Every structure is written in C-alpha cells, then in structure tokens.
C-alpha cells in the first residue's frame, strides 16, 4: 500500500478525572487504556463494544477532536498538531467524522447545499462556482440529486445522514470516523447507508474507522474488527475470522446477541459459544 491515509494510534490512554470533595478524592476513569490500532489506507476497521467500552472516546481521539492523556496519533507518519492550532484546523480536512444523529449534525437554519459549500469554503477549496458545482455532484453521488435547497427538516433520517456523508466526503478526506453512524436509523435504511459507504470507499479509496455496539452491523462493512471492552482491545482480527472463530468470551457474548439469519446459522453459533 502507498501509505496514503494510514492512521496509527499508538498506546493511547485517555483518563478522565471528576468529582473531589472535602471527604473524598477525585474519581479517575481510564476510558481508553493502552490501545494501539492501525487503519490501513482504503480499509474499514470496525470497533465494536458495549456502551461505556471507550470506543467513542477512541473515535474522537482518532478524529483529532480530543487529545489523549498519553500515546500518539499519526496520519501518514505525521503526528497530530495541537488541538485548536492553525495546523490542526488544516488537518481536519483529511480526517472527517460522521456522528450518530444526523439531525443534530446539520444546521436547521441552512439548506444542506449551503452547508456543503460552507465546508469547502472553510478549507479554501475552489471558487464559488466551483463549490456549487462540486456540491451538486456530491449530492447526486450520495443519492440526493437536486436537493441542495432543502433544509434538514424536509429530509428523512436516511436522507439527512446522506447529506452528512456528502458534507464529509466533499473535502476529499483520507479517513472517515463513523461513530454509530447508522444506529439511529431503521434497519432497512441502515443497509442502504452501509451499501453507500462501501460504494464510496471503493470509489475514493477512503479508510473508515467504523464504531458500533452492533456486531451484526459491523460485520457487513468491516475488513477487520477490534473488540473493545472497558477501555482495552480484547480481540482483533479479520472480520471473517472473528465471526467464524471468536476467541474471547466477551466477543462470543456479543456474537450471541446478533440475530441469526437461518436455523443452521443459529445452531452453528450456539456450538461456537457453548
């Protein structure tokens, strides 16, 4: 691989301290505890775990919007700049994030086309005519042709997430962090968005860090999977191997919660987790 878009998180620790009173010390929570992962260019690495496992914290650190307590993040061998600096703002074009709730990610006061153009303008991309043309092309690519004048309340949940995806990808990022990006959507719409993300990855060579509590969803998009629990990676490997032969008890419990498509699949899974 060329190395374009290789994201490395090395021995990442994120500690939160809270509380503290006259009779007690501060509470220390290690949300991420020594995690090392590598996202290769153009691949999808699924991060799966229950609520509170630290996966969303890891995603924010990978996106560069939260700093680790210790450890290092590099993209193409270059360490992330200090959050808030001019260099950091420039870096954000290369690493975009898609969040769980698209209605909150979109500005209800601005048409979606304007929001996509604004993202390009913030990074000095094209002139006004060029931004408008690229906005239209990107909306068509995500299945929203001619909808640039619409506001978020005029779109369905699935259409809103398509608009968020268009706004992220119009910047031509190397890496996109998807944090529970389909969990707020109906099952049928989830499948449409996952298919869209896969199509866009094939077209643009983007790498995805796909974060979810649902191993069944992660299965349909990931090349590799890392299972996270209580701030650490307990198991990692190719997606097919994780599903065919899970090694860790926690992975087996997550797998058991995924609905089986057929009786034969259910029996095979029961043998795995027995």
- Mind listing the domains of the chain with CATH numbers? 1-94+174-245 (3.40.50.300), 109-172 (no CATH)
Q: How far does CA 32 lie from the centroid of its chain?
A: 17
**Which pLDDT band holds residue 136 (cuts at 50, 70, 90)?**
very high
pLDDT at position 24 is: 61
> Rounded to an integer, what distance in angstroms lies between the CA atom of residue 68 and that of residue 40?
21
Give residue 2's pLDDT.
Answer: 39
The answer on pLDDT for 158 being more than 70 is yes
pLDDT at 240: 94
* Distance (Å, whole) CA 183 – CA 211: 10
The total of other beta-carbon atoms located within 10 Å of residue 111's CB is 18
Show the CA angle centred on residue 263, arms to residues 258 and 265, nearest 5°. 55
For residue 273, pLDDT over 60 is answered with no
pLDDT in tens, 147-156: 999 999 999 9
Evaluate whether 257 touches 270 at the Cβ level (below 8 Å): no
Q: What is the pTM of this model?
A: 0.90
* 1 compared with 35, residue with greater pLDDT: 35
Distance (Å, whole) CA 42 – CA 58: 20
Give the percent of the chain with pLDDT over 70. Answer: 91
What whole-number distance in Å separates Cα of residue 48 and Cα of residue 227?
5
What is the SS3 assignment for 259? coil
CB 46 within 8 A of CB 239: yes
Residue pair 47/39 in contact by the 8 Å Cβ criterion = no
Q: What is the full DSSP assignment across 38-98?
A: EE-TT-EEEEE--TTSSHHHHHHHHHTSS--SEEEEEETTEEPPPTTSHHHHHHTTTEEEE
Are 61 and 10 in contact, with CB atoms under 8 Å apart? no
Residues 211-241: pLDDT tens digits? 999 998 999 999 999 999 999 999 999 999 9
pLDDT value at 274 more than 70: no
Question: What phi and psi, each to the nearest 5 degrees, are found at residue 32?
Answer: -130, 130
Say how many CA atoms lie within 13 Å of 63 toward its Cβ. 21
pLDDT band of residue 268 (cuts 50, 70, 90) is: low
């Amino acid at each position: 691989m060329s190395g374009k878009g290789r994201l490395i998180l090395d021995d990442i620790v994120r500690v939160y301290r809270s509380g503290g009173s006259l009779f007690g010390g501060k509470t220390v929570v290690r949300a991420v505890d020594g995690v090392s992962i590598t996202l290769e260019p153009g691949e999808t690495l699924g991060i799966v775990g229950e609520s509170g496992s630290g996966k969303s914290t890891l995603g924010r650190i990978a996106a560069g919007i939260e700093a680790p307590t210790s450890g290092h993040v590099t993209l193409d061998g270059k360490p992330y700049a200090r959050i808030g600096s001019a260099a950091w703002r420039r870096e954000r074009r290369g690493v975009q994030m898609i969040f769980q709730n698209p209605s909150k990610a979109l500005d209800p006061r601005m048409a979606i086309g304007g929001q996509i153009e604004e993202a390009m303008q913030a990074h000095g991309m094209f002139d006004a005519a060029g931004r408008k043309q690229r906005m239209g092309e990107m909306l068509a690519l995500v299945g929203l042709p001619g909808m640039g004048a619409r506001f978020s309340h005029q779109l369905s949940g699935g259409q809103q997430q398509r608009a968020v995806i268009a706004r992220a990808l119009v910047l031509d990022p190397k890496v996109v962090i998807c944090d529970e990006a389909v969990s707020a959507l109906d099952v049928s719409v989830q499948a449409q968005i996952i298919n869209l993300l896969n199509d866009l990855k094939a077209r643009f060579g983007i790498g995805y860090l796909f974060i979810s509590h649902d191993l069944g969803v992660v299965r349909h998009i990931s090349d590799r999977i890392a299972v996270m629990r209580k701030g650490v990676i307990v198991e990692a490997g190719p997606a097919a191997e994780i599903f065919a032969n899970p090694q860790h008890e926690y992975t087996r419990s997550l797998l058991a919660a995924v609905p089986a498509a057929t009786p034969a699949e259910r029996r095979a899974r029961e043998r795995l987790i027995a």
